C-alpha cells in the first residue's frame, strides 16, 4: 500500500518528535546523573568538614587542659617560692 505525501509527512513529524523526546530524555538523564554526583560530593564535603570540626574541637580541648595543668604548676611553684622567701626572712 502506497502512503500519501501527507501520511509520509505526518509519519516523519511523529518520528522527529520521538527522536527529540529520546534526545531530551538522554539529556535529562545525564543532568540527573550530574546532580546525583554533585549531591554525593556535597555529602562527602560535609562529612569532611564535620570531621575537621571535631578534630579542631578536640585539639582546642586538649590545649585548654594543658593550659590548666600549666597554671596549676605555676601556682604551686609560686607558693613554694613564697614559702622559701618566708623561711629565709624568718
Confidence of residue 81 (pLDDT cuts 50, 70, 90): very high
CB neighbours of 11 closer than 8 A, spacing ≥ 6? Answer: 3
Nearest 10 degrees: CA dihedral of 42, 48, 53, 59?
-170
C-alpha to C-alpha distance for 55 and 63, rounded to whole angstroms: 12
Which tops the pLDDT comparison, 79 or 17? Answer: 79
pTM: 0.56
The answer to whether 11 and 3 have CB atoms below 8 angstroms apart is: yes
Q: Give the domain ranges of the chain.
A: 1-90
Question: What share of the chain in percent tops pLDDT 70?
Answer: 99
Amino acid at each position: 500500500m502506497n502512503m500519501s505525501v501527507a501520511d509520509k509527512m505526518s509519519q516523519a513529524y511523529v518520528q522527529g518528535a520521538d527522536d527529540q523526546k529520546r534526545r531530551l530524555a538522554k539529556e535529562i538523564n545525564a543532568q540527573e546523573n550530574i546532580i546525583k554526583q554533585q549531591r554525593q560530593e556535597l555529602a562527602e564535603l560535609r562529612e569532611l568538614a564535620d570531621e575537621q570540626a571535631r578534630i579542631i574541637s578536640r585539639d582546642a580541648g586538649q590545649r585548654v587542659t594543658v593550659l590548666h595543668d600549666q597554671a596549676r604548676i605555676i601556682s604551686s611553684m609560686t607558693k613554694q617560692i613564697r614559702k622559701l622567701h618566708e623561711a629565709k626572712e624568718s
